[in-house]
């Protein structure tokens, strides 16, 4: 099943790249950062794009099956002020909720730092439920996909109808990697994630990560980005019907 998706808080397109690698199609992007916009324009020149989500008229958005959103984590992260989802940056979640309730997309795929579990998860799940969606979630660390850092992130998958993501998001014992992740790594071959090909989790070239060249504002945008390999894994589950 191939989905048309709109990427909110798109950043440099980590969600977009991963989902397109899994066979889905990006039909819209929302991102305010000017540097990130330049990256998006370079790689998705034909995709319509919007800036400030506060000024967005959701009625102008193209039809899509899925909305993705790695909404701001600055007020949620342990590295920030820890004010939670009501903070100035992370509070932009409310703007997304308003758009969801207006347009009523069939699916949402949300991402944030694992600290969301203690600094706003109840708010997110409550808003999702009030918007008519069921949700399941789990933390998927980048290290499970071959990265050299943990980068634990919570992913929340919602749908307007009952959804069974137990196979996709199910941790086993003390192993933080979900069973489906371990099976996927085994089926695909460990070299896919740990090898030095174009889809490697870390580049062999000095001063680069995720295969993105070093440049102006690189550290900031990479730090905020969704790891494409994780997005690809989730997107593949949507294609084969297990998500």
**Hey, which residues are catalytic here?**
73
Between the two ends of the chain, the Cα-to-Cα distance in Å is: 10
CA-to-CA distance for 174 and 182, rounded, in angstroms? 13
Structure tokens at 110: 């949300």
C-alpha closest to that of 163 among 106, 205, 204: 106
C-alpha closest to that of 227 among 132, 152, 156: 152
CA 31 from centre of chain: 14
Phi and psi at 177, nearest 5°, equal -80, 130
CA-CA distances (angstroms) from residue 51 to 5, 86, 156, 185?
Answer: 17, 21, 24, 37
């Amino acid at each position: 099943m191939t989905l048309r998706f709109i990427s909110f808080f798109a950043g440099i397109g980590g969600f977009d790249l991963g989902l397109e690698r899994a066979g889905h199609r990006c039909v819209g992007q929302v991102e305010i950062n000017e540097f990130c916009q330049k990256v998006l324009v370079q790689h998705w020149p034909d995709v319509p794009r919007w800036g400030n989500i506060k000024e967005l008229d959701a009625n102008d958005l193209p039809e899509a099956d899925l909305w993705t959103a790695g909404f701001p984590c600055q007020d949620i992260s342990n590295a920030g002020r820890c004010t939670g989802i009501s903070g100035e940056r992370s509070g932009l979640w409310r703007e997304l909720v308003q758009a969801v309730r207006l347009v009523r997309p069939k699916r949402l795929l949300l991402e944030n730092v694992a600290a969301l579990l203690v600094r706003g998860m109840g708010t997110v799940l409550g808003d999702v439920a009030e918007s008519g969606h069921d949700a399941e979630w789990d933390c998927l660390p980048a290290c499970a996909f071959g990265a050299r850092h943990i980068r634990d992130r919570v992913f929340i998958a919602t749908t307007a109808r009952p959804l069974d993501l137990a196979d996709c998001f199910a941790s086993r014992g003390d192993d933080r990697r979900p069973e489906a992740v371990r099976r996927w790594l085994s089926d695909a071959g460990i070299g896919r994630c740990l090898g030095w090909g174009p889809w490697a989790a870390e580049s062999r070239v000095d001063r680069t990560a995720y295969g993105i060249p070093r440049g102006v504002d690189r550290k900031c945008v990479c730090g905020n980005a969704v790891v494409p390999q994780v997005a690809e894994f989730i997107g593949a589950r949507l294609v084969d019907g297990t998500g």
